[in-house]
């Protein structure tokens, strides 16, 4: 069962010291921290441990996508770090999803295990370019149903997609929404972006917000304003 927090700040930093310094701007009672490929590559398990020692729940966003045995071992290793949540890529297929869950279940820590559906940077044209001929909506539903079938805890998807899939999925399914932007014009590389309050209204369980907070002049104030909007 999902238990806190509603918001994770994406720590897309390229060095450990920047991540540590910025974390001092945030309240661990208000948010968790998402550690993705960039920060984990330079900081490794040490930065995850440091953030946890300083009170933050960690979402390890490495989107494991490999042969089943490799993913199983990676999910077990990630779980043993004590992270609150981790993810795999649903396009890895049935055997990989089964192996991922086995890896998490083998651990004593039992973090939430979710799967990425279609990246929020992709649209129908992007899917067509890689050989997927149906729409983003159809692909997300197909992948989400398969994730639920294999007993994972939820999916990463745009809030705009939740209303189209929620009725077909378990009631306690977790919907993690990246691509959150605070005002029009902040779209950058996110093609399916949405505001925090609309995302919650659409059914998002957890928001992942990076640049609108990490590039703000007053990150704590921006975080506080977002918390008020989604409470």
Q: Give pLDDT tens digits for 30-83.
A: 999 999 999 999 999 999 999 999 999 999 999 999 999 999 999 999 999 999
- 43/93 Cα distance (integer angstroms): 29
Is residue 192 pLDDT above 70, yes or no?
A: no
% of the chain with per-residue pLDDT over 90 = 84
User: What per-residue confidence (pLDDT) applies to 184?
Assistant: 45
In the predicted model, is pLDDT for residue 193 greater than 80?
no
Pick the CATH number of 7-230 from 3.40.50.1820, 3.40.50.1950, 3.20.20.70, 3.40.50.620: 3.20.20.70
DSSP SS3 for 20 = helix
pLDDT in tens, 146-169: 999 999 999 998 898 999 999 999
Q: Where are the domains of the chain?
A: 7-230
Average confidence (pLDDT) over 102-128: 94
Which of the residues are catalytic? 63
Report the half-sphere exposure of 187 (CA within 13 A, side-chain side).
8
Which tokens sit at 93?
A: 């297929």
Residue 185: the pLDDT is: 45
The DSSP code for 12 is: -
Residue predicted with more confidence, 139 or 120? 139
Q: Model pTM? A: 0.91
* Average pLDDT over the chain, rounded to an integer: 92
What pLDDT was estimated at residue 3? 55
227: left (phi over 0), alpha (psi -120 to 50) or beta: alpha
* Residues 5, 32 contacting (CB under 8 angstroms): yes
Q: Are 180 and 130 in contact (CB under 8 A)?
A: no
């Amino acid at each position: 069962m999902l238990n806190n927090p509603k918001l994770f700040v994406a720590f897309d930093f390229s060095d450990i010291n920047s991540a540590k310094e910025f974390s001092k701007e945030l309240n661990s009672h208000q948010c968790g921290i998402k550690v993705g490929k960039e920060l984990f590559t330079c900081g490794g398990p040490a930065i995850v441990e440091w953030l946890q020692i300083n009170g933050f729940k960690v979402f390890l966003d490495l989107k494991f996508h490999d042969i089943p045995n490799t993913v199983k071992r990676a999910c077990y290793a990630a779980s043993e770090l004590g992270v609150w949540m981790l993810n795999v890529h649903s396009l890895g297929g049935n055997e990989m999803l089964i192996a991922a869950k086995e890896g998490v279940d083998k651990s004593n820590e039992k973090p939430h295990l979710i799967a990425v559906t279609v990246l929020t940077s992709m649209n129908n044209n992007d899917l067509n370019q890689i050989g997927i001929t149906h729409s983003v909506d159809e692909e997300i539903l197909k992948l989400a149903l398969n994730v639920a079938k294999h007993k994972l805890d939820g999916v990463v998807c745009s809030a705009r997609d939740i209303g189209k899939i929620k009725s077909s999925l378990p009631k306690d399914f977790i919907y993690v929404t990246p691509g959150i932007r605070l005002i029009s014009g902040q779209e950058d590389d996110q093609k399916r972006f949405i505001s925090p309050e609309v995302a919650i209204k659409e059914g998002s369980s957890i928001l992942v917000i990076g640049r609108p907070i990490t590039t703000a002049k007053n990150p704590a104030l921006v975080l506080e304003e977002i918390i008020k909007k989604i409470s």
